[in-house]
A = this chain, B = another copy of it.
Amino acid sequence: MSWSLNEEKVFKDPVHKYIHVQDRVIWDLINSKEFQRLRRIRQLGTSFFTFHGAEHSRFSHSLGVYEITRKIIAQFERNQYPDWPVEERLISLCAALLHDLGHGPFSHSIEPVLDMHHERWTCRIIEDESTEVNQILRQVSPDFPEQVASVINKRYAKPIVVSLISSQMDADRMDYLLRDAYFTGVHYGTFDLERLLRMLRPYQGRIVVKDSGMHGVEDYLMSRYQMYWQVYFHPVTRSSESILRNVFRRAKELYMAQHPFQFMPGPLAELFEGRLTVDGHYMLDEALAQTALMQWSREKDAILADLCQRFLTRKLFKYEAVEGDPALKLAEMEQKLTANGLDPRYYMVLDAPKDLPYDVYIGGKTNRIPILILNTKGELQEISEKSEIVRSISGLQRGKAVLYYPEDQEDEQENVD
In the complex, whether A59 has a CB less than 8 A from a CB of chain B is: yes
* A368-400 interface (Cβ within 8 A of B): 388-389, 391-393, 395-396
Q: Are A9 and B393 in contact (CB under 8 A)?
A: no
A10–B213 CA distance with the chains assembled, in angstroms: 14
**Least Cβ–Cβ distance between A71 and chain B, in angstroms:** 13
A297–B14 CA distance with the chains assembled, in angstroms: 32
**Least Cβ–Cβ distance between A243 and chain B, in angstroms:** 14
Collect the chain B residues with CB atoms within 8 Å of residue A12's CB.
Answer: 51-53, 184-186, 416
In the complex, whether A338 has a CB less than 8 A from a CB of chain B is: no
Q: Are A288 and B294 in contact (CB under 8 A)?
A: yes
Partner pick for A185 among B13, B215, B413, CB 8 A cutoff: B13
A59–B289 CA distance with the chains assembled, in angstroms: 20
A187–B220 CA distance with the chains assembled, in angstroms: 12
Q: Are A48 and B55 in contact (CB under 8 A)?
A: no
Q: Mark A42-68, 1 if CB is under 8 A from B, else 0.
A: 000000100111011101100100000
In the complex, whether A218 has a CB less than 8 A from a CB of chain B is: yes
Q: Are A18 and B194 in contact (CB under 8 A)?
A: yes
Collect the chain B residues with CB atoms within 8 Å of residue A14's CB.
Answer: 53, 182-185
Q: List 27 A-B contacts (CB under 8 A).
A: A9-B415, A10-B416, A11-B52, A12-B52, A12-B53, A12-B186, A13-B52, A13-B53, A14-B53, A17-B194, A31-B413, A33-B312, A52-B57, A52-B59, A52-B60, A186-B192, A187-B192, A212-B417, A215-B230, A222-B389, A265-B295, A286-B287, A287-B289, A287-B294, A388-B393, A389-B389, A392-B393
